Structure 1
């Protein structure tokens, strides 16, 4: 698939550094904090590998952080490449303090798609780690050897840990795909993988206890902090996936046709007051402006209409309170569920025009009505 996903507002505190496979690569501000910590932690080892660097050892440590996150980017890029291969748009790749995240639009359509998109990331990390292990035998002593050792350890660790069967880890998506494929129920797969993520969170929280009683090592403050942060990340990610699965189970019941407001069509230059009168006479809940040949060109904004004083309505053309109908505001009348929610998120608006298969107008869909139906489904 060659299309680049539509641009979206960039999250605050994120910086764009380029694109990979058509997806924006963003770096979170939190990454710089982690990079600085890595530089400080690595400084003593840099001093051992290359004595005499002085303050430059921190720069070497920072360079190692950049190299490390380069391999994380490679991990996420493999997700993006596989997703696009199966026809799923990828909006962005984000590098943050806990690693990276690839934003793939929409749910997987088949278990195989979910499995392949998920598993390719950890496998890429493991391959990079094994390649680095191979380089250890030909790399001379010094900073370069330290970097290769770090790459080998980090990538093998990331690859293996990401295969743990619990959401939001890649292994959780693999488990979801397996359960989905065997049961035929995607939502069941998500719930099972979500519980796997919660159990993994509990295991992460107990890491300081493992150090103390299992490895006879006194845990440091940083061990407690990291255990808490990782456990919180896993638990919240798994819980969010489980809530989303329960909502998505009810999404197919949300059909645009059922939510459509009856509409009346009026010429673009018809006064607003007359357009409102015609809509009231027809018991219509929306107004669409059309050209002389009947082609729809705008949908009246309810907010703009209410903001227009009644004494001005006889003198203003209806087009003055209508939004131009761009392609994203024209939806098929039978669109439903997740596809409907995704279409609305791509082109946010208050109203959309619903068309039948032959191109004729069926009605107008209000985002407020969709939100109400969504909340009802979630309840």
Structure 2
């Protein structure tokens, strides 16, 4: 299993069926069916509303406004996800994949966020980008003629971004709001996995509410007794009950898997590395461990075989990849050791105790915790 596969298998909080679009500069870009659902809803709403509001401008004016509106709305979705990717890269999280989905872009890196403020920054970048775009579009709309294509497009672009931003801030995993709440709870002293499990449970509740709303809309229930923007959102969901049912189903799947992931991380937090490691034979000393021993007897490097089979030979020390940062202590939690396991060569990491190697922690053993 290569390192990208190891990261995907061990560290993903939400696993959805996706299709790979491209791999630019080592970044795997994927799209989930639910993202196409959002795109379809945007097209449907704009065609439906613009056909009424812009009827005096004829079908050419309507088609042009729909084309521009859809392009800008989809650009807003991409801007949200690109903002999270940029923040993750800036924080040194080494992004490896970006998945476009109904629940928002999921950025995964080789490293988990080491601090709660880093996790919060990545989560907040998406919805606040949408809210900033909503503010800018609303400002333009306020000075534009309301009943021409330009005014109608900017007005609906403002509402679309406002809806995307506020929906993403719902405090339930796997939405960005759930990630923000988890980061705040982490900063206040809670274990990240425990906070994630609680917000993932909230995500299940939100998904069930969407499913109930979809059934209500399908049955033709009476209009809810609410006003203002909430009425707009409610009518959007109830009249587009097919979308609401599908959105609820996708969110339920993602929230359930996020909860399973958080439960697994909780199990790792309560498990010591020594309980999972594969002991080294008693007659193995530091000098027998992979690579030359350091001053403390800890393996310092590993040399890939391919480097030693070339026609032009080099010294082993030059070809070796350092393992200094890829050892874990026997008494630390498996959760704390997870990141070093992910970035270590071969999905395995040396376990040390009092400076001497005592075992090997392997990815397959970590995956089996709590299963």
Instruction: Give the TM interval when normalised to the shorter protein.
Output: 0.5 to 0.7
Whether 1:42 and 2:35 are equivalent positions in the alignment is no
Provide TM-score, normalisation by structure 1: 0.65
- SS, match of residue 120 in structure 1: helix
Q: Distance in 2 between matches of 1:353 and 1:114?
A: 25
1:151 Cα offset (Å):
1.3
Whether 1:213 and 2:213 are equivalent positions in the alignment is no
Q: Distance in 1 between matches of 2:205 and 2:261?
A: 19
Aligned 8 A contact 1:39 1:59 in 2: no
Aligned to 1:88: 93
Whether 1:78 and 2:94 are equivalent positions in the alignment is no
Q: Distance in 1 between matches of 2:46 and 2:167?
A: 22
Q: Distance in 2 between matches of 1:152 and 1:171?
A: 20
Whether 1:239 and 2:256 are equivalent positions in the alignment is yes
Aligned 8 A contact 1:330 1:353 in 2: no
Aligned to 1:378: 370
- SS, match of residue 15 in structure 1: strand
Report the CA distance shift for 1:59/1:254 in structure 2 as closer, same or farther (over 3 A). farther
Whether 1:174 and 2:180 are equivalent positions in the alignment is yes
Between the two structures, name the one with larger relative contact order (CA 8 Å, sep ≥ 6): 2
Report the CA distance shift for 1:115/1:85 in structure 2 as closer, same or farther (over 3 A). same
Q: Distance in 2 between matches of 1:290 and 1:328?
A: 9
Aligned 8 A contact 1:79 1:117 in 2: yes
Structure 2 residue runs without a partner (length 5+): 9-16, 226-233, 293-300, 307-318
Report the CA distance shift for 1:103/1:68 in structure 2 as closer, same or farther (over 3 A). farther
Aligned 8 A contact 1:261 1:365 in 2: yes
CA-atom RMSD in angstroms: 4.6
Bigger Rg, which one? 1
Structure 1 window deviating more from structure 2 (335-344 vs 152-161): it is: 335-344
Whether 1:113 and 2:122 are equivalent positions in the alignment is no
- SS, match of residue 206 in structure 1: helix
1:90 Cα offset (Å):
2.0
- SS, match of residue 137 in structure 2: helix
Aligned to 2:247: 230
1:107 Cα offset (Å):
3.6
**Corresponding pairs, count:** 322
Q: Deviations over 1:97-144 (max 9, x none)?
A: 565333344443333333333233222211210111110133355433
Report the CA distance shift for 1:34/1:231 in structure 2 as closer, same or farther (over 3 A). closer
Report the CA distance shift for 1:24/1:132 in structure 2 as closer, same or farther (over 3 A). farther
Provide TM-score, normalisation by structure 2: 0.66
Aligned 8 A contact 1:257 1:333 in 2: no
Report the CA distance shift for 1:64/1:173 in structure 2 as closer, same or farther (over 3 A). same
Q: Distance in 1 between matches of 2:86 and 2:235?
A: 43
Q: Distance in 1 between matches of 2:181 and 2:35?
A: 29
Structure 1 window deviating more from structure 2 (247-256 vs 152-161): it is: 247-256
Q: Distance in 1 between matches of 2:197 and 2:126?
A: 22
Q: Distance in 1 between matches of 2:184 and 2:139?
A: 33
Aligned to 1:272: none
Aligned 8 A contact 1:329 1:353 in 2: no
- SS, match of residue 142 in structure 2: coil
Whether 1:161 and 2:170 are equivalent positions in the alignment is no
Report the CA distance shift for 1:23/1:62 in structure 2 as closer, same or farther (over 3 A). farther
